[in-house]
Structure 1
Amino acid sequence: MKTIHLTYMLMFFVVTIMYAQKINYPVSEIPETLKKNADAVIREHTVTKVIINDLRVESHEKFVVTIFNKSAQKLGYFDEGYDKHSSVSHYSVKLFDSKGVLIKKAKSKDFLDVKAFDGFTLYDENRRIYYHPYSEKYPYTVELEFSRIDKQTLSLGGWYPVYDFNVAVQNAVCNIITDADCPIRTKELNMAVPGQKTIIDEKTHYSWQLVNYNALEEEPFLPGYSQIFPQVKFATNEFNYDGYRGSMSDWKTFGSWVRELNKDRQVLPNATVSKLQAMVEGIDNDIDKIELLYKYLQDNTRYVSIQLGIGGWQTFEASLVDETKYGDCKALSNYMRALLNAVNIESNYIVVRAGKDASPIDVEFPSQQFNHAILCVPNKGDTIWLECTDQKQPFGYLGSFTQNRHCLLITEEGGKLVKTPEYTRDSNTQFSTNYCIIDSAGNCQLKGKTTYKALQYENIARYFYRSPKEQKEELYKDLNTPNSTILNYSFERNNEPIPVASRQLELTINKYGTTNGNRLFIPVNPLNAFNFIPEKLSSRKYPVELRSNTFDMDTLTFELPESYSVEYLPEPIGISTPYGEYVSKGSLDGNKFTYIRSLKMAKGIFPPEDYEKVREFYKTISNADAAKLVLIKK
């Protein structure tokens, strides 16, 4: 009887615990349509921002996501940054299993509060609080919740309810509450349902909602995030950052704020000014003076990331950079401006959104959209653009990091939108000439030169930062040619606004040609074959954006073994499409076969129905570049 009584007590205890456990977010409650193609489903995401005044924005955020596989695991991480102008509090993390049963509630000791150090930052006031929960058993759900206070209104951020491809959204809401003293501007993109604006107790309430948004599958050649996913931008007209008030009702007034922030910070020590003036004495051409001082900048300073002062917006004084010999993009651009001022050459500070694949700024929505600083020298209409953070950057070259985009030029009158130069296809070239000796066993001895220009210069720019040992290791990786041995190589480059670099190369490739009976098959493109074919899609939803804007030409001469004769020459090919052009042809002269191949890639945005045509163009190039010369034994 005691045993039975004990058993009943245990059963009662277990049942009591089960009922006491609150069930939250069971996966079974997710609509099946949202699970399709989804690595994760955002169950609930509520953001509320209350703009108290121009120096205080209070926010609360709750984010609940169900993770279906490891590729989406990071969506469940808590990672929130802050600095002296912000704080994070009341943060919590809960982990639930697939049935919605709580399996982990984070304790205070689980959260780490560390410096937001990136390895290149010398001084940094930024910090981050993080905790990365996960479960080995999928699916699972994470609930994140926190509050924050931002003591500035320069950047209110935006609302981006869809985090990525293969992420669905069950319910997401964004609320902003402000009063008449702090009006905001908003801009909606790709929103199926427009937001609501109401006045309650003299407060303006803005609200947006996204419900049952199915996961999108990623497609090749997609346009940027802003052209696909729903989002809302918001910004104030008048703002305050660390006591520095400004306006961004238009680009001119925002530029005035940047100018005033950095006013009178270009003063150099008298000794440095005298040295600079002596350096340019006798040089009549301003371009030569600018280039000399740019080299002085590169030789005497180095880049470090510095996040001090008012959010990293105010540059260090030029005199401090002159003393310490380092600075971030702002400080080095400002220092270069001071160097030019010393010899009476005018220049303009510029803020820009940098990054090879960075989305363009929204020119119709004046706001803080920048992450980098460069310098512009008008030079009486012959403008010179200077990237001041790279000690080996060619003079006047911006590169893919900042080329062809709108940026904000800071003048005495305020800000002015201008566009950095674009490097055209005729500039972005890669031309090679190679001589290949093929022996009767199919081995190849190759000697050649490849010249890279403009954006294609960046294909080998890193070699100029490497030791000889590192150069050789990377060269083997880049060549990706099996059975090859590098015998000799060298790199050269100029220092022009449109840079040109070259690579001389000698190598052997064992068994380059393959034998089959009495035939020898020789690939005609050993070093620059195009082999990317985009995947086949059953349907295409979005426009096709091609970003490559390059011109390659390869000339190869093959000295063929005397014991073989030519049985087959690759057919000449000529293709011209809106997406690019491809031409290849060969000619035989005795035992020498010369093969010339050119490929011009076109940039542009094309309708979804063009995708299969683009794919066929790429497939044709790949097949043509895989062509072989067929020899037969005499």
Structure 2
Amino acid sequence: MDKQIEIENYRIRKSEEWAGNIDDQDLVDRIKDSEFAKRQIDEGKDFCYFLDKKYYTSNTENSEYICMAYTLNEPANLERASVSDIVVEENEVYNIHRISVLRDGVLIDKIPDTKIKVLDSENQSSGGILSSNKKINITIKDLRLYDILIMEDSRVKVFTDRDFLRKEFSKHVWVSPDNYWAYGSYKFTFINDREQKIAYKKTFFRDENGKVLQPEIGYLSKGETFVFEKQNYINPVDANREIFPYIDFATDDSWKNLSNYIAPIYAEIFDKASLKDFAPNLIEKLDEIVDLDEKIQFAVEYVQNNVYYVFNADEMNGHKPQEPSVTYENKQGDCKAKSVLLKTILDYIGVDSSIILVNFHTDFYIKYYLPSLLTFNHAIVKINHKGEEYFVDATIRDEFGLLENRGLIYFMHYLEVKPDQELKERKPYKYPYFCIDEKVEFNTQNSTGNLVLTTTYKGNRANAMRRYFRNTNKREVIDSWNNFLFYSLNYSNDRNGTDVRNIFKEASIDIISDDKKLNEFKIQYKASVDNPYYVDPKNNRFLMYFDRNVVKASARDFMHEDLTFWHNFDSEKYEINLYTDQKIDTQEKYTVQESTIHNPYFDFTSRKKITKNGATVNIEFNPLVNLEIPKEDFEKFRTDHHTVADSNFGLGIDIIEPGLINMLKFSFKKKFK
């Protein structure tokens, strides 16, 4: 194609030399209806005749090239092809090399039928996420069902001075394609044009029997390429139970060397930082606080709540941390800036802390990845206090409590910004408190029940509930509790379809207390219920309260060949009291049933006290969290959760109906049960 069009964010031009050049006849020759292609098309699937992907990296740019031809046999696919969006980063350019269709054997250039708009990509700017990304909207007119669309394009990211990490280090993860598509030819090529050696690691590939192979590691020197190529290819991965095979490419290095690279960058910032020089007003407030624990709470909440979080997507891996004096003066900064300011304050009050690098989204994979600073996308603060390690995300808002009472951040892998560090794994955690501590009292007399729930939330739960009550309409909050109780009291099985507001009369919910140091948030729900008993089809009456939150369905239903189960449940305590003016069956199997479970990953107990007119159950669930359950331990872990679900997550009592005949029926039933 001879015509060259250049706009700031996109160009219409020929492909680069490293990507190669393919002429029109070569394209047509590659689009052949083989038996494999016919079989896929006959099954009603769209088919990709070929897909060539190339990734090129040098010390000055990263580029990706794609050339592909695929069918438009499905209306939904035709719609997606007709209008598409490409998002490019700052200093990244989208190059269009070819847009064509093969229609009835004739190759038609569709660039004259293509309309291109460049838009700002600022969807989340109001949430503190700043990005100079641009969205390139591409509309292709007159695409028709059964066309074969041919797209050839590339993206080029040229590094600026602030992209110092990208200049020095490379990282790219190739993930095997979606298994919806069938490919006549699939080819991926990685081209290393950097001065440094690139390592690659093939992970979660399988043999012909589906068994995961050991990771394969290789190396590419400058000028060398890696090629993954398949013919008549459908990715065999079981998407519901297996991880897609992937290849991690990264500049060959070690975690120790990487920590020694990044630590001096942060040390230079801290050497310039003196809180006395730029924050005398803040120091005055800190000095007024006598208790060290309260000083720490003040420092954390000051940075979290008074410094606005600005996430600049282009700069997260691209520049040095902002100096704390600038962050303090401007009252805004990204995660690095806020973390550095918090550590500067903690240094002043004599608390040991450090910056650590994490990636919550890919935490599971970090242990499989090659060492790279570009693996991480977030910075938080690690605090060592009274022999314990605490982790604080300075970008979170509306968190409260002394250090030991604050919310728990779940993650496992991190790199500490200090010299000579290796990748670390965070220790498992056991709550020193109950995240939920709830007392349920349901007293029934005659045909009316009085229901009172008193609940204390701590840690993450307290923070979440505090926000929920502040941001949610009171009527909506009450309806939420009503709906929960509709199922807990089993009314869903004898009065389904009834408006819950007509069941739970005079329902109210109030905040009883809110302790910002203990981070305890206490509420109370009250309601009266007409006809409080659940009645089965045989007109037997029961009082029932089963809290399905105690049952961990995710643990019982988990099925995956590769992923391990991430254990992050809250600690919970419940006292459920059900009392009536009727006589009850004090020997009923499930009424008296208790349980004790001592699993390596959680302890569970339910203890009961039965009287002639009611019963109480005390339930405690104490998990060991922030860890992956090893595969060899998981089935026992699952079985123990099935035990919890076997009527051990609440309480039910059977009413013995008054009258001689009913007593005889009850005695007969017990004798022959």
TM-score w.r.t. length of structure 1: 0.74
Amino acid of the residue matched to residue 54 of structure 1?
Answer: N
Q: Distance in 1 between matches of 2:470 and 2:106?
A: 54
Q: Does 2:558 match 1:532?
A: no
Amino acid of the residue matched to residue 129 of structure 1?
Answer: I
Amino acid of the residue matched to residue 190 of structure 1?
Answer: F
Distance 1:437 1:307, change over 3 A: same
Amino acid of the residue matched to residue 653 of structure 2?
Answer: L
Q: Does 2:468 match 1:463?
A: yes
Q: Does 2:132 match 1:125?
A: yes
Q: Does 2:453 match 1:448?
A: yes
Amino acid of the residue matched to residue 594 of structure 1?
Answer: T
Q: Does 2:262 match 1:255?
A: yes
Q: Distance in 2 between matches of 1:382 and 1:131?
A: 54
SS in 2 for 1:368: helix
The aligned residue for residue 656 of structure 2 is: 632
Paired residues for 1:218-297 under 5 Å:
218-219=239-240, 228-237=243-252, 250-256=257-263, 258-259=265-266, 262=269, 266=273, 270=277, 272-281=278-287, 283=289, 285-297=291-303
The aligned residue for residue 424 of structure 1 is: 430
1:178 to 169, 173, 192: 192
Q: Does 2:602 match 1:588?
A: no
The aligned residue for residue 572 of structure 2 is: 552
Q: Distance in 1 between matches of 2:219 and 2:529?
A: 69
Distance 1:264 1:166, change over 3 A: farther
Distance 1:105 1:156, change over 3 A: farther
The aligned residue for residue 595 of structure 2 is: 574
Distance 1:618 1:105, change over 3 A: farther
Amino acid of the residue matched to residue 58 of structure 1?
Answer: S
Distance 1:609 1:130, change over 3 A: farther
1:555 Cα deviation (Å)? Answer: 1.6
1:89 Cα deviation (Å)? Answer: 1.3
The aligned residue for residue 622 of structure 1 is: 645
Are the equivalent residues in 2 in contact too, given 1:560–1:593 (CA < 8 A)? no
Amino acid of the residue matched to residue 645 of structure 2?
Answer: S
Q: Distance in 2 between matches of 1:40 and 1:280?
A: 65
SS in 1 for 2:373: coil
Distance 1:167 1:587, change over 3 A: farther
The aligned residue for residue 387 of structure 1 is: 393
Query: Which segment drifts farther, 395-404 or 204-213?
Result: 395-404
Q: Distance in 2 between matches of 1:586 and 1:28?
A: 68
Kindly indicate which of the two structures has a greater share of residues assigned to helix. 2
Are the equivalent residues in 1 in contact too, given 2:50–2:184 (CA < 8 A)? yes
Q: Distance in 2 between matches of 1:477 and 1:564?
A: 26
Distance 1:182 1:381, change over 3 A: same
Are the equivalent residues in 2 in contact too, given 1:68–1:139 (CA < 8 A)? yes
Are the equivalent residues in 1 in contact too, given 2:324–2:344 (CA < 8 A)? yes
SS in 2 for 1:553: strand
Q: Distance in 2 between matches of 1:138 and 1:581?
A: 59
Post-superposition CA distance 1:391-416 (Å, at most 9, x none)? 322354798884342222223x4756
Amino acid of the residue matched to residue 92 of structure 2?
Answer: S
Post-superposition CA distance 1:576-632 (Å, at most 9, x none)? 467766544543223222123344567644549966x76665555434148742213
Amino acid of the residue matched to residue 125 of structure 1?
Answer: S
Where in structure 1 are there 5+ consecutive unaligned residues? 1-20, 239-246
Paired residues for 1:35-54 under 5 Å:
44-51=50-57, 53-54=58-59
Where in structure 2 are there 5+ consecutive unaligned residues? 1-27, 160-165, 208-215, 487-499, 659-673
SS in 1 for 2:175: coil
Q: Distance in 2 between matches of 1:449 and 1:96?
A: 69
Amino acid of the residue matched to residue 232 of structure 1?
Answer: I
Amino acid of the residue matched to residue 629 of structure 1?
Answer: I
Q: Does 2:212 match 1:209?
A: no
Query: Which segment drifts farther, 385-394 or 362-371?
Result: 362-371
1:374 to 374, 380, 395: 380
> Percent sequence identity over matched residues?
15
SS in 2 for 1:632: coil
The aligned residue for residue 61 of structure 2 is: 56
The aligned residue for residue 405 of structure 1 is: 412
Q: Distance in 1 between matches of 2:560 and 2:414?
A: 33
Q: Does 2:348 match 1:348?
A: no
1:158 to 166, 172, 176: 172
Distance 1:626 1:434, change over 3 A: closer
Q: Does 2:331 match 1:325?
A: yes
2:205 to 181, 191, 200: 191
Post-superposition CA distance 1:168-206 (Å, at most 9, x none)? 66654321223472321212212359698788xx82122
SS in 1 for 2:374: coil
Distance 1:345 1:600, change over 3 A: closer
Distance 1:312 1:534, change over 3 A: same
Paired residues for 1:25-44 under 5 Å:
29-30=36-37, 44=50
Amino acid of the residue matched to residue 255 of structure 1?
Answer: I
Are the equivalent residues in 2 in contact too, given 1:123–1:307 (CA < 8 A)? yes
Post-superposition CA distance 1:260-296 (Å, at most 9, x none)? 78566646684x5322332233655544333222333
The aligned residue for residue 526 of structure 2 is: 506
Post-superposition CA distance 1:208-264 (Å, at most 9, x none)? 235634454454xx6xxxx832111112259xxxxxxxx978332342364278566
1:332 Cα deviation (Å)? Answer: 1.7
Distance 1:626 1:150, change over 3 A: same
Post-superposition CA distance 1:523-549 (Å, at most 9, x none)? 232574638388989x97556525244
Q: Distance in 2 between matches of 1:392 and 1:458?
A: 7
Query: Which segment drifts farther, 295-304 or 255-264?
Result: 255-264
Query: Which segment drifts farther, 126-135 or 154-163?
Result: 126-135
1:118 Cα deviation (Å)? Answer: 1.8
Q: Distance in 2 between matches of 1:401 and 1:69?
A: 47
Distance 1:467 1:181, change over 3 A: same
Distance 1:581 1:469, change over 3 A: same
Are the equivalent residues in 2 in contact too, given 1:330–1:373 (CA < 8 A)? yes
Q: Distance in 1 between matches of 2:465 and 2:179?
A: 32
SS in 1 for 2:565: strand
Amino acid of the residue matched to residue 597 of structure 1?
Answer: I
Q: Does 2:316 match 1:301?
A: no
Are the equivalent residues in 2 in contact too, given 1:488–1:506 (CA < 8 A)? yes
Q: Distance in 1 between matches of 2:78 and 2:637?
A: 34
Are the equivalent residues in 2 in contact too, given 1:426–1:550 (CA < 8 A)? no
SS in 2 for 1:633: coil
SS in 1 for 2:279: helix
Distance 1:553 1:230, change over 3 A: same
Q: Does 2:155 match 1:148?
A: yes
Q: Distance in 2 between matches of 1:494 and 1:407?
A: 32
Distance 1:592 1:408, change over 3 A: same
The aligned residue for residue 84 of structure 1 is: 90
Are the equivalent residues in 1 in contact too, given 2:200–2:218 (CA < 8 A)? no
Distance 1:533 1:546, change over 3 A: closer
Q: Distance in 1 between matches of 2:183 and 2:389?
A: 48
Q: Distance in 2 between matches of 1:588 and 1:187?
A: 61
- RMSD across aligned C-alpha pairs, in angstroms? 5.0
Query: Which segment drifts farther, 137-146 or 122-131?
Result: 137-146
Q: Distance in 1 between matches of 2:510 and 2:101?
A: 56
1:369 Cα deviation (Å)? Answer: 1.0
1:520 Cα deviation (Å)? Answer: 1.1
Distance 1:322 1:523, change over 3 A: same
Post-superposition CA distance 1:35-74 (Å, at most 9, x none)? 99x99876644321233x4112333123566799899999
Amino acid of the residue matched to residue 319 of structure 1?
Answer: S
Give the paired residue count. Answer: 590
